[in-house]
Amino acid sequence: ALIGGAGGAVLANQKQPLEFAVREYFKQKGLEVIFFYRAPRAVKVTFSYAPNAFWTVEAVMPDELINLSDEDRDDWLYGSLVTKALPKVLRAIKNPRQNELK
């Protein structure tokens, strides 16, 4: 039982493909991922963009896409996060007086 528990802990700590892709993308943008959360139809990332400056961004899949394969869900979430949600947040960070998140 001890060996099985240890094996499960090792598996649980391994990065999944979506998490790895998101972390790599943020790293390329010079952003440090602080927290990554994956739900069945959503992904949420808290990142640091400056010393002591953090923001959380998320992508949520619409109900009509629930029947996608796991791989297609990951692809959709990644695409939505990096092409829609993150650019809006980065614009808001650069222009804090403009409320571009609405």
Query: In the prediction, which pLDDT does 96 show?
Result: 79
Strand partners, 47: 33, 55
Please report, for the chain, the start and end positions of each structural domain, with discontinuous segments joined by +: 15-94
* Tens-digit pLDDT string for the chain (102 aa): 444 444 444 444 555 699 999 999 999 999 999 999 999 999 999 999 999 999 999 999 999 998 999 999 999 999 999 999 999 999 999 887 765 455
Kindly report the number of other CB atoms within 10 A of residue 16's CB atom. 11
Q: What are 17's two structure tokens?
A: 């493909």
Query: In the prediction, which pLDDT does 85 show?
Result: 97
52: left (phi over 0), alpha (psi -120 to 50) or beta: left
Structural contact between residues 41 and 58, judged by C-beta atoms closer than 8 angstroms: no
Judge if pTM exceeds 0.95.
no
